Structure 1
Amino acid sequence: MDSTLFFLTLTISVSSVPWLVLATATSCDFPAIFNFGDSNSDTGGLSAVYGQAPPPNGETFFHKPAGRYSDGRLVIDFMAERLGLPYLSAYLDAVGSNFTHGANFATAGSTIRPQNTTFQQTGYSPISLNIQFYEFNDFHRRSQTYRNQGVFEKLLPKEEFFSRALYTFDIGQNDLTAGYFLNMSGDQVRAYVPDLMNQFKTIIQYVYDQGGRSFWIHNTGPVACLPYILDRLPITAGQVDHIGCVGPVNDVAKYFNTKLNETVVELRKQFPLAAITYVDVYSVKYTLISKAKELGFVEPLKACCGPGGKYNYNVKVGCGWKGVVDGREVEGTSCKDPTVKINWDGIHYTEAANKWVFDQIVGGAFSDPPVPLAMACHRQ
């Protein structure tokens, strides 16, 4: 055989080995999920602390408020379903919780780094990512102390689950919007992204030190396509892209995602025993919004549940609440058919949109490496 051809054949064969191994690998059989994040994956944390998200939240699937800022299930709920696990109980929710197969530390309004403001002042949660880790650390230790005591055996995870679990992260959106709402420029927001990455990297290391080996990390979505950004930020015509989103703000989100991807690469080198999957939900969500009509959705930049107005959003009157706007009382009510809407309340997605996003990412098409959810324990 010609030496050049032999070398080419050998190169192709060797480079294909990881994917051949993956193709024949078995599913990971994750016994639990431990989730960290903000409202995109909060299943009841903020509701447990500051009061239940009011109706019509939860109306489509749960038929009542269920701690989620949506009409139904979130992406994390669909992930749990696919892995054959129950929906995650919020760590902060003391009533009716079962943590046998994991816990959810995500809290609406959370950021990677502490905001040094109160929830009442800004709407950002004091339960930042470092606090969520402290909660996890305490949960890991105390769950094993109490697990063998009476009823707790059926409510708390086995010790082995912590090393076999899937650790999921979806956080960072609020870190970006917090800067804009403090009247920072895009350049000023970009300037603190490296600090966010350092803090994020530290938390991954802490979880790794606790035994975590399988990580599924979402990047941040196109925040500048959300009604609460379109309604609250001063926007000039030249800043709006072809689908109506604020281009410069989305550019900062993409910068954040680039740095997050670079951080994941560094983490893989630092922790070769870990399987770390980076998931590009930005591309999925932007496609959903830009091709809404083709995909069966309407008014992609307008909320389903709100008090009226151009984007059906007002910062003073949230979904399910009453308030006074321009001298008249209004109420945040649900639209007729949430199943054809992408945005639920100006900030969060509807169940229908969450399901569409999940369907795109579950198979690994938007992951780096391109592994499906059920095989995210396999290192590449």
Structure 2
Amino acid sequence: MASCASMSVVAVVLLVLAAAQPARADRACYTRVFSFGDSITDTGNYRFVFTNDNGAHAPWPYGETYFHKATGRSSDGRLIVDFIADALGLPFVPPYWGGHSTEYFAGGANFAVGGATALSPEFLRENGVPLATDSVHLDMEMDWFRDLLKQPNLLCPDDFTDCTNMMKKSLFLVGEIGGNDYNEPLLSEMPIEMVRNLTPSVVAKISATITDLIGLGAKTLLVPGNLPIGCIPNYLMVFKSDKKEDYESETGCLRLMNEFSKYHNRFLLDELEKLRNLHSGVSIIYADYYGAAMEVYLSPKKFGIDFPLVACCGGEGFYGVSATVRCGNGEYMLCDDPRKYGSWDGLHPSEAVYKVIANGLLRGSYTQPPIANSTNSCLQLPETGSSDEEKVLYDL
């Protein structure tokens, strides 16, 4: 059997297609998933970190599609990290702040927090970003991870060698992060040239985090790029234009905003290549969230989506959003079937889109380096997201 630690997560999952009725193995390729990021990845930390929120973050009807209750996820159902964990035969990754036991962290831990930035609020303000409040940032999430490693008997019950082995057998999802570093200045209509100046610092922070994780023993890291923000309803509302050339003819998305996302992603790709050259024994995989999501915007009917640029939950505007109404608060409007919508609340994708992205990573071509050609698989997996069985093994 091939070594699991050095295998790409995508190579592990792709080979399931060769089996007509795959069965789970007794031992998974990755024993845990650790994830960092913002609301694209947060499975419930926000409510614990910001205790004075009073339920304003992701209240019902968030979670209605799959969990049938609000779980702190910024969507109607599962996130990309949920589909990845499921495909690897692991429980959904629990929010770090939601528990404190060996059993709770048996499948890993999620440090992502809604609204988190890559850069610190102090740095962002010094560079002209008009932040109303402080947010969690990537250095804080890394501090939490280090604290968890230091806790006796939680992750490494025996000794340092056992902890090293745990790190080698874990998958690290570093992101998506950086979107909120850009959202605040862009949506407040700060000149895009000034926002672009933040990108080297955002990518440098992601790079430093990857380097820190490798120093702690991580061997497999999945690093997402940014989503196509020009297809997000809130952006489409704020930057609505009468000029046809401001929109992509194939998708109806804002051309300039998608070019900005691609700019960030090119910068990140170049940095990941530098890191690979420095760490030859580590698998650093780029997850092309942009390309995978564009499948929906280019061919929505293929995925059963009728309204790719419209929010299911929000206001009365053309894109299902308005400046005065927010999903779950006040007199908001709710669609009948979130599966037909590309956005859940105007800022975050619906579960249907998250599933497309996850499948694009796990079974498609949206990872770099490319999927390895291999005839061995250390785990047989069911179809990604095929089960509707409740899979949350932690209590929120």
TM-score (norm: length of structure 1): 0.81
Shift of 1:219: 0.7
2:215 aligned with 1:240, yes or no? no
1:132 aligns with 2:104: no
After superposition, residues 256-271 of structure 1 pair within 5 angstroms as 256-271=264-279
- Please name the residue that 2:329 is paired with: 321
SS of 2:313 mapped into structure 1: coil
Alpha-carbon RMSD across the aligned residues, in angstroms, is 3.1
Whether the 8 Å contact between 1:173 and 1:220 is mirrored in structure 2 is yes
CA shift digits 1:97-132 (9 cap, x unpaired): 9111110011111111123489xx857761111111
Matches within 5 A, 1:86-165: 86-94=91-99, 98-116=104-122, 122=131, 126-144=135-153, 159=163, 160-165=165-170
Whole-Å separation in 1 of the counterparts to 2:341 and 2:377: 31
Contact 2:105/2:154 (8 A) holds in 1:
no
Indicate if the aligned counterparts of 1:109 and 1:123 stay in contact, CA closer than 8 A: no
Q: CA deviation at 1:146?
A: 8.8
- The corresponding residue for 2:333 is 333
Q: Which residue does the alignment assign to 1:282? A: 290
Q: 1:281 & 1:124 partners in 2: Cα distance?
A: 28
Does the aligned pair in 2 maintain the 1:77–1:88 contact within 8 Å? yes
- 1:291 aligned to which of 299, 307, 311: 299
1:44 and 2:49 correspond? no
Report deviation, 1:51.
Answer: 4.5
User: Does structure 1 retain, via aligned residues, the 8 Å contact 2:272–2:284?
Assistant: yes
User: What letter is aligned with 1:183?
Assistant: E
177-186 vs 206-215, which deviates more? 177-186
Determine if contact 1:28/1:376 at 8 Å carries over to the other structure.
no
Which residue number corresponds to residue 356 of structure 1? 356
Q: d(CA) in 2 for partners of 1:112 and 1:355?
A: 25
Aligned 8 A contact 1:162 1:212 in 2: yes
Contact 2:28–2:89, Cα closer than 8 Å, also in 1: no
Q: Which runs of 5+ in 2 are unaligned?
A: 1-6, 17-26, 379-396
Structure 2 CA distance for partners of 1:28 and 1:93, relative to 1, 3 Å = closer
Q: CA, structure 1 residues 315+272, in 2 after alignment: closer, same or farther (shift >3 Å)? A: farther
Verify the 8 A CA contact 1:111 1:124 in the aligned structure 2.
no
Aligned-residue identity in percent: 29
Q: Does 1:367 align with 2:367?
A: yes
Letter in 1 for 2:168: S
Q: 320, 323, 348: which is aligned to 1:312?
A: 320
Output the TM-score relative to the length of structure 2: 0.78
Greater Rg over alpha carbons, structure: 1
TM-fit CA distance, 1:341: 1.2
SS of residue paired to 1:137: helix
CA contact (8 A) 2:304 2:339 kept: no
Deviation of 1:343 after TM superposition, in Å, equals 0.6
Change (3 A) 1:110 1:62: same
For the residues of structure 1 that align with 2:59 and 2:240, how far apart are their CA atoms?
A: 30
Answer yes or no: is the 8 Å Cα contact 1:107–1:125 preserved in 2: no
1:298–1:234 distance in 2 versus 1, CA, 3 Å: closer
